[in-house]
Structure 1
Amino acid sequence: MSGEGYDGYDRLQIDRTGQAEAFDAIGERYDEAFPHKEGQLAIGRWLSQSLPAGSRILDVGCGTGMPTAAQLVEDGHQVVGVDFSPGMVKLARDRVPGAEFIQRDLADLAVEGPEGLGRFDGVVAFFSLLMLPRAEIPHALRTLHGLLRPDGLLALSMVEADVDDFAIPFLGSTIRVSGYLRDELRQVVSDAGFEVTGEDSYAYAPASTDVPPEIQLFLNCRRGA
């Protein structure tokens, strides 16, 4: 099992150069390019219905807040969204006033301390971990594990792809992405202390012509010891 959170990870390896700026530039075009989010909505319903009303949920890489933060707030949950793109955080605040949104890097999330967020009943991480190099992803998962209460739930999505920190054109910008084939993704998630209790996949063709079709993987997870 990997270390707790980012303990033991050389933070000098963290390079977000151009990543936040790309999403600032993309802005509202993101939802236009990805209009159909059936998989995201389905696993969001699973999380929402599996937790007691009024549960505290962290949305990691919240983007514009649509549809996930809005869906969870509408279901009566307390939502805290975090994103490293100030432009996305501004859009989310405007679109989902019933949630709290914070500009913060995933590597800086913590339970305690001056900027500690406390613990959560549930976490959603939809296509946010794919923005990290593979070496960092286990540490990010352990961070999410630590932010969850015992038996807390994680709803996770990734694009199925055997790539590591690979540069791709994306809506007029360039971003770097990582991915796994599904068996390896399950193993990485399990090694981080989660039980995978369900799985689904969707073939997805974005509306934008400069973003290729993809296979989206969704994992229903429960925090283990």
Structure 2
Amino acid sequence: MNSPTDEHGYADIDVDRTGQAEAFDAIGNRYDEAFPHKDGQIAATEWLIESLPAGSRTLDLGCGTGLPTAGQLVGAGLEVVGVDLSAGMLDLARRNVPEARFHQLDLADLRPGGPRDLGRFDAVAAFFSLLMLPRAEIPLALRTIHHLLAPGGLLALSMVEADVDDFTIPFIGSTIRVSGYLREELREVVVTAGFEIVGETSYSYAPASGDVQPEEQIFLRCKRRQHG
């Protein structure tokens, strides 16, 4: 799936999502079955909740089934918008968290000057969503998140620690393409995009699905710098 490009860094990128959304359409509820324990994600979302005033506007980027993140944010009295590329995942999210608003969009659609404008947010949760992008696009995605955040806004970000770029892997009966960084390089990419890292945790995780390898999950708690 090719998205329009513009002058904000995307003009030189072939935005190719071929097969990515279709894989998650096919996976559906099996995603939550394969990843039943999301301790790091829950803890990072709790940090957002504790840091934000009631009613703050939050974006769940790559919201999947809406669980646990969108549900957790709604339950804390926050306004929640969810975005995902998979129509199947969004159907589940709307059923699981009817209080939130969900949109079928690519993050690239939300770039400065892009085709969709959802306004500004006090916080963004991006749990494993940037994992689905080629490395060349990840800095642009982080700059887009910076653009979406109000000054001083918060970002809860998670990635799998891996030195790979747009690498095809088996995943819960389908195949997807993933990218990652080693820890120091991930920090550098995030800081360069205009964020201050205020906290970091990591978890060794063994998914319940036999075709998903054990992984080291990194969770960064970040604050949008005023300039950067």
- Tell me the TM-score normalized by structure 2: 0.94
Indicate the residue corresponding to 2:81 in structure 1. Answer: 80
Indicate the residue corresponding to 2:11 in structure 1. Answer: 10
CA RMSD of aligned residues (A): 1.5
Query: Which of 102-111 and 143-152 deviates more?
Result: 102-111
Indicate the residue corresponding to 1:166 in structure 2. Answer: 167
Gaps of 5+ in 1: none
| Equivalent residue pairs, number | 221
1:114–1:176 CA distance, 2 compared to 1 (3 A): closer
SS at match of 2:165: strand
SS at match of 2:199: strand
Query: Which of 114-123 and 183-192 deviates more?
Result: 114-123
Q: 2: CA distance between counterparts of 1:213 and 1:177? A: 15
Does structure 2 retain, via aligned residues, the 8 Å contact 1:162–1:181? yes
Q: 2: CA distance between counterparts of 1:218 and 1:119? A: 23
Question: Which structure 2 residues correspond to residues 39-50 of structure 1 after superposition, within 5 A?
Answer: 39-50=40-51
Indicate the residue corresponding to 2:193 in structure 1. Answer: 192
Q: 2: CA distance between counterparts of 1:110 and 1:213? A: 33
**How far is 1:116 from its partner?**
1.3
SS at match of 1:25: helix
Which aligned runs of 4 or more in structure 1 are off by greater than 3 angstroms?
Answer: 110-115
1:88-129, CA deviations, whole angstroms, 9 ceiling, x for partnerless residues?
A: 111000100010010000100157787310000000000000
Query: Which of 115-124 and 133-142 deviates more?
Result: 115-124
**How far is 1:9 from its partner?**
2.1
Does structure 2 retain, via aligned residues, the 8 Å contact 1:166–1:177? yes
1:163–1:147 CA distance, 2 compared to 1 (3 A): same
1:221–1:12 CA distance, 2 compared to 1 (3 A): closer
Gaps of 5+ in 2: 1-5
1:112-160, CA deviations, whole angstroms, 9 ceiling, x for partnerless residues?
A: 7873100000000000000000000000000000000000000000000
Q: 1: CA distance between counterparts of 2:186 and 2:116? A: 30
Indicate the residue corresponding to 2:119 in structure 1. Answer: 118
- Tell me the TM-score normalized by structure 1: 0.95
Indicate the residue corresponding to 2:72 in structure 1. Answer: 71
Q: What amino acid does structure 2 have at the position aligned with 1:140?
A: A
Q: Are 2:53 and 1:52 equivalent residues in the alignment?
A: yes
Compare relative contact order (CA 8 Å, sep 6+) and give the higher one, 1 or 2. Answer: 1
SS at match of 1:136: helix
Q: 2: CA distance between counterparts of 1:185 and 1:171? A: 26
